Structure formats: C-alpha cells, structure tokens
A and B are shown apart, each in its own frame.
Chain A
Amino acid sequence: MTPLWYVVGFGVAGVSFVFLTIGAAWLISHRTRGDQHKGLPYESGIDTYGDTHGRFGLSFYIYALLFVAFDIEVIFIYLWAIAFQDLLLGGFISMLIFVAILLLGLAYAWRKGVLNWR
C-alpha cells in the first residue's frame, strides 16, 4: 500500500467516523419544530436586518494574497533546505536573492500600510 492510498483510506475512515457519530447523535437527540423565531440567526437577540453576506473588510483579501505569495515559496524553500548540505555557498546566495525578491513585496505592503489592521 503506497502512502497516498494510506492517506486516502485514512480520510475515508475519518469521514465515516464523523458521519457515524453525527448520525448516532441525530438518532438519540431530541428535536422540536419550534416557531419561526427558532430558525433566526442569533445576533444578540434582535431580529436580523440587512444583508448577511454583505460587505466586509478588504484587509482579509490582502492578507490572503500575501499568504499565497509566501506559502508557495515555502514548498521551494523546504526542498532547498533538504538539499542544503550539498549546495552550501551557491545555494545560500541564490536563496538570499530569492527571498530578497519576496521581501520586496512584503516591504511594499508594509510601506503601503496594509499590515496595519483597520
């Protein structure tokens, strides 16, 4: 069995475990119909108004962008780190250049004040 099938099989086992438990809970828990107020979203006890999926802060989106830039870099850095004992000085300098380019992006975002939460 290859590791991939191991992971997939484990995922299937985990999903079935969760659904079995939720199903068992559904069987033994009590349910009431309730009136129309029961189904309302809980927003501190007052009836909800306005659009729920309305507008929210743009900063979330910018953090997601920064995350994508740095997290993809990580895959590359990991492989570099594993092979570093063979690369040594050449690897060090090339990684310095690679990270410097990425840090330019971070410095730009920092300068623009994106990193300050508003």
Chain B
Amino acid sequence: MTFVARTWNRLTIPGRVLLGLLLLGGLLTVGLALLIIFSEPILELLGANLPLVRFVAAATAVLLMTIPTAFLIIYMEMKIIALMNLRVGPDRVGPFGSLLSVVHGLKVLMKEDFTPTGADASVFTLAPVVTYLASVMTLLVIPFAPGLFGQDMNIALLYFFAISGLGVVGLLMGGWSSFNKYSLLGGLRSAAQVISYEVPLVLSVVGLLILAGTMSLNQLVLNQAGWFTDWYIWQQPLGFLIFFIAATAEANRTPFDLTEADSEIVAGFATEYSGMRFGFFFFAEYVNVFIVSALTVTLFFGGWNAPFPFPDIGLALDPGSLGIALLILVAVVPLVGILILALPFYLLRSSMPFWQALIIGFVLFNVVAVAAVLGWAFVSLEWVAGLLWFMLKTYSFVFIFVWMRGTLPRVRIDQLMGFAWKWLLPASLLNLFVTAAAVIVVRELRG
C-alpha cells in the first residue's frame, strides 16, 4: 500500500490524470470484451424480461433527466431576469455563464448538511425526499413523444394530481420538524396555499375531461392531432386560465411565492435546511416548473403534436445496402468536409496559420454534421420530431413562468387565499357546467 501511495505522490497532475484515464480505459475494454463474449446469454436474459428492461430504462431516463432540466431552468431564470433588469447576469463560468448553475449544484453538494439541535432528525431528512418524489413521480405519466412515456395509465390525470398533491406533506414535515417558528409558519402557509389552489386546479380540467371522455394523457394528446385549432385551449379558454393561475400557485412561483417570502418569514419551511437536503427542495421546485409547463402543454396545447399537419417526408436510407461505399463515405466525407470548410479561412486571411484554419474547419464541420443528423432525425423519426415540438412548447411556458417572476410583485396572503376560494373555485365550477351544457346543446342540435 505504501508503495502505491508513494508512487502516486510522485506523479505530476497530468500524470495522475493520464494514469486515471488509462485505468478507466482498461476497465472499459475488459468490460466491453466480457459484454461481447457473453452477448448472447445477456441478450436472451434481457429479451425474457422485456417489461423489466423497459421499466429500468424509463426510471433511469426520467430520474437523470431532472438534473439537466433543473440546471437549465435555474440558468434561464438567472439570465432572463438579469436581462429584464438591464443587468448582464451570469457571464463568467462557461459560454455566457451557462455553467454557473452546474457550479451552484456542485457547491450545494459539497456544503455542510446540518441538522439543528431540536430538530426531529428522521422527519427532517425525509421531508425533501417526499417533496422531490412527489414532483418526480408525476413525470411517469407525461407523454414526451409518440411512444416515449413512462406508463400510459387510463387514470393518468388523476394519478398526476394525487401524486403532486403529496408534495404538501413534505412541506409540512419540513416545517414541523425544523423546530423553528419561521419554518413552522412557512410550512403551514405553504400547506394552506397549496391545498387551496389544489381545488380549482383539479376542477378546471373537468370541462376538458367532459369533451375528451378520457383521463389518459396519451389519449388526450392523440385527440388534439391535426391543426393547432384542434387544441383544447380554443374550447376551454376559461379552464386554461384557471388551470394556469392555480398551477402557478401550486408550483410556488411568483406572484404566489409566499412560501419563500424572505422579507416576512426568512425562507419559510426551508429556513433550517442546508446542504443537499436544501438542494432537493429547490431541485423539486424547478422540476415542478418543468412539470407544470409540460402538463399545460399536454392538456391544452396539443402535447407533442406539431401545430400543423407536418408533411411526411421520410428519407429512407439503409446503411447496409451501401456496402463498401459506406466505408469510403465515413472515411472520406469528414476529411473533405473539414478541408473545404477550412479553405476559405486559410485563403481569405493570410495571417492565419493553416492549423488554426484546420481547427476552425473541424469545429464547423462538427456543427454542420450534428445539424444534418438532427435534421435527418427530425424528418424521418417520429419521436424526435414529437420530442422537439414538446420541448419547444414546454420551454415557452417555462419562459412565461420566468417572465412572470421578472414582472409581477408578490400578492398578500389574504388576497392569495381569498382569490382561490372566492374567484377561482366558482369560476371553475361555472366552466364545468357551461361545458356540460354546451355538450348537451350540441348533441341536441346535431340530433
């Protein structure tokens, strides 16, 4: 052991990195070789348990997807609000400061995770778990693209509201177990707010359910295929408005962010939290913004449908049929492409050495190649196009949430509670009955 440690200490830093990479490469090679040797029994085993494989893939994909989503939304929030305030915003880490939220995440990971003396340690630890789980488990039913969803349940919408409603338990747990008056008040306030807006939120979509006759989110999206006039927003404008307002309050976003009203109750339920447990509370909050946007898009804006019937231009290309030409293509095209793209820089700017032109050509060629592959995937793979449309719409709504945060002031708590019970709840019931009456009248008129 001492020999290994001494050798390690003698190495320079590049040497250590190189050694690490070599070890990693060796391990990967051995693993790959084992995989190839035992490929047949492994494939057989996987084929026998296909639902299990599908489950593991879906769970891993959804859980890992939340991390870049949260980072992206935090960065969007910092940058867009900065631009709205005529500030520059983050611009030091990475291009346009885009890596700052990653650095924030790493910082939270390395901070001391502290439990105050009077706190109920087990409940204190479980609270962020419950909150995070309540937001992430709803991603299971959201249809991202044709065939790209965790599970197509026939009660998906009810499941969604049931699970996302559990988040309030986490807030209450965090507020109660922190042994802090601010936390307790913050937790109770969040709970009162979330449960008050839960009622109009779930009632606002009933009109849509009457029209659609199904609770499966996948089926709802399929119902809205075609032109953008087929989206439910045109038949349910009031329902959408109520849903959007209630969803903003549900996600604790401005103008309804009384749970973290730092000028009144410090940081609400999160006052005593630090380190990664604090991180998970805010992780959950930003994932919630994404989920609420995704659900709005799914219900009212056609989900992964394009706003118009997209022309079907499938480029049929079978790589196997090219034979030896494929090999030449793969070998020659990058070289020629790099040279062609490097040429204008080399010719037009005589001061530039050729290797700089080559690097520029290489980068440009990669950009072109990635764009070409994405374009090909967009026109010939249904789920890529669907995912792109879905993400485009969802991030438009995320942008609207950020925009509201940059624009609107926070409401007072009595206005907040009164608005939910005195305006939104009657309005959503009105929406329900008007839709039902309209369905009956249309039925009668058509005979």
Interface residues of A, Cβ cutoff 8 Å to B: 1, 3, 6-7, 9-11, 13-15, 17-19, 21-22, 24-26, 28-32, 36, 38-44, 48, 52-53, 56-57, 59-60, 63-64, 66-67, 70-71, 74-75, 77-78, 81-82, 84-85, 88-89, 91-92, 95-96, 99, 103, 106, 110, 115-117
- Interface with A: B26-34, B208-216, B316-324, B340-348, which one? B208-216
Q: Which residues of A contact B214 (CB under 8 A)?
A: 82
0 or 1 for each of B106-117: is its CB under 8 Å from A? (1 = yes)? 001111111011
Minimum CB–CB distance from B326 to chain A (whole Å) comes to: 39
- Report which of A1, A7, A66, A103 forms a contact with B51, defined as CB distance below 8 A: A1
8 Å CB contacts to A: which residues of B423-447? 425, 429, 432-433, 436-437, 439-440, 443
- Interface with A: B77-85, B125-133, B293-301, which one? B125-133
The answer to whether B180 and A115 touch across the interface, beta carbons within 8 angstroms, is no
- Complex CA–CA separation, A92 to B439 (angstroms): 10
**Residues A25 and B109 in contact in the complex (CB < 8 Å), given A84-B439, A115-B418, A117-B418:** yes
B228 is an interface residue with CB less than 8 A from chain A = no
Q: Nearest chain-B residue to A19 (Cβ)? A: B129
- Interface with A: B96-104, B181-189, B379-387, which one? B181-189
Q: Which residues of B contact A19 (CB under 8 A)?
A: 129
- Report which of A14, A22, A78 forms a contact with B158, defined as CB distance below 8 A: A78
B395 is an interface residue with CB less than 8 A from chain A = no
The answer to whether B192 and A60 touch across the interface, beta carbons within 8 angstroms, is yes
The answer to whether A1 and B180 touch across the interface, beta carbons within 8 angstroms, is no
8 Å CB contacts to A: which residues of B118-138? 118, 125, 128-129, 132-133, 136-137
- Report which of B140, B158, B422 forms a contact with A115, defined as CB distance below 8 A: B422
Minimum CB–CB distance from B66 to chain A (whole Å) comes to: 9
8 Å CB contacts to A: which residues of B196-235? 196, 198-199, 202-203, 206, 209-210, 213-215
A-B contacts, 12 listed (Cβ < 8 Å): A1-B52, A6-B140, A7-B137, A14-B63, A18-B132, A21-B280, A22-B277, A29-B109, A40-B116, A48-B180, A56-B188, A115-B422
Q: Which residues of B contact A57 (CB under 8 A)?
A: 188
- Complex CA–CA separation, A44 to B183 (angstroms): 12
The answer to whether A29 and B63 touch across the interface, beta carbons within 8 angstroms, is no
Number of A-B contacts (CB under 8 A): 197
The answer to whether B151 and A41 touch across the interface, beta carbons within 8 angstroms, is no
- Complex CA–CA separation, A53 to B179 (angstroms): 7
Minimum CB–CB distance from B408 to chain A (whole Å) comes to: 20
- Complex CA–CA separation, A30 to B111 (angstroms): 7
**Residues A52 and B179 in contact in the complex (CB < 8 Å), given A14-B132, A18-B132, A71-B199:** yes
- Report which of A3, A29, A38, A64 forms a contact with B153, defined as CB distance below 8 A: A3
0 or 1 for each of B388-428: is its CB under 8 Å from A? (1 = yes)? 00000000000000000000000001100110011001000
- Report which of A1, A32, A77 forms a contact with B203, defined as CB distance below 8 A: A77
B55 is an interface residue with CB less than 8 A from chain A = yes
The answer to whether A41 and B116 touch across the interface, beta carbons within 8 angstroms, is yes
The answer to whether B418 and A29 touch across the interface, beta carbons within 8 angstroms, is no
The answer to whether B421 and A66 touch across the interface, beta carbons within 8 angstroms, is yes
Q: Which residues of A contact B432 (CB under 8 A)?
A: 77, 81, 99
